């Protein structure tokens, strides 16, 4: 799925064309991974994308990625969720404009809702797009 407005394009990056785009996209993903809990490495994301366990989305200006998102589908007993797992880049306010691309894809995949895990600032960015706080995630290291 793809959406273009003026010189800004938002599209899903398939596993088939991941290799050719990885050099420009991986620095953005690394920023997102380094800002959160150490649950995955860049290699882990690469492997999940190659297995098609996760999906990669990129916002680009004239072919150069300025923001990326990684999604994964979570199958619960009574609902299916598309989780937006990582988001990083510049001009993240543009994410709201392109969320419909992910939403349309997720609906076609049988998802019932979207969820995003992120820093508190996302609540302010996404509030105007109809997102609402559903929970608070608390984390405590034990090892």
The percent helix, strand, coil of the chain (3-state, each to 5) is: 35, 30, 35
Q: Which residues pair with 61 in a beta bridge?
A: 8, 64
Q: What is the pTM of this model?
A: 0.86
Per-residue pLDDT of the chain (143 residues; tens, 9 = 90+): 655 566 788 899 988 889 999 999 999 999 888 877 778 999 999 999 999 999 999 988 888 888 899 999 999 999 999 999 888 887 666 677 778 899 999 999 999 999 987 777 778 878 878 888 888 777 777 87
Strands 64-75, 54-61: pairing kind: antiparallel
Q: Which two tokens stand for residue 95?
A: 């994410």
């Amino acid at each position: 799925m793809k959406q273009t407005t003026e010189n800004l394009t938002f599209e899903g990056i398939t596993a088939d064309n991941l290799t050719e785009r990885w050099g420009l996209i991986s620095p953005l993903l690394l920023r997102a991974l380094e800002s959160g809990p150490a649950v995955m490495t860049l290699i882990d994301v690469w492997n999940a994308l190659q297995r098609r366990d996760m999906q990669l989305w990129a916002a680009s200006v004239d072919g150069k990625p300025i923001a990326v998102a990684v999604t994964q589908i979570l199958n619960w007993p009574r609902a299916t969720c598309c989780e937006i797992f990582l988001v990083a880049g510049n001009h993240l306010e543009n994410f709201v404009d392109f969320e419909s691309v992910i939403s349309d894809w997720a609906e076609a995949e049988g998802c019932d809702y979207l969820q995003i895990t992120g820093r508190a600032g996302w609540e302010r960015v996404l509030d105007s797009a109809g997102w609402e706080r559903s929970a608070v995630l608390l984390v405590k290291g034990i090892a």
